[in-house]
Amino acid sequence: MVGNGPEVINILNSVYFDLVLMDVDTEGTRDFRTARAIRQMDEVIAGIPIIALSGTSDPQVGSRCLKAGMNGFLAKPFSLLDFTDALRKMHNRRIFGQST
């Protein structure tokens, strides 16, 4: 768990993760630069799926997340079923496993 966008970039350069859950309401990630920066990193890191988390269910926020390169969007609070549905949708689109 990290506190802001630059910390996300730093940790992804040293540790591999299968998934990034990015709270887009957190300072340092609100403007979506972090997701765009991840997508510009080397092929392995750039391929890590990103699910955006937000305190709003506004479809415009979800759309902005997808345009910034994120693979999914969940409005908080969300249930385990919501989370597994998001993972299933990404799996069905073959997002997982492309870069490992």
**Token pair belonging to 1:** 């768990």
| pLDDT (tens digit per residue) in 47-91 | 999 999 999 888 888 899 989 999 999 999 999 999 999 999 888
Q: Where does 5-92 sit in CATH, by number?
A: 3.40.50.2300
- Under 8 Å CB-to-CB from 22, ≥6 apart: which residues? 8, 29, 34, 35, 50, 51, 52, 53, 70
Q: What is the pTM assigned to this prediction? A: 0.84
* SS3 sequence of 26-53: CCCCCCCHHHHHHHCCCHHHHCCCEEEE
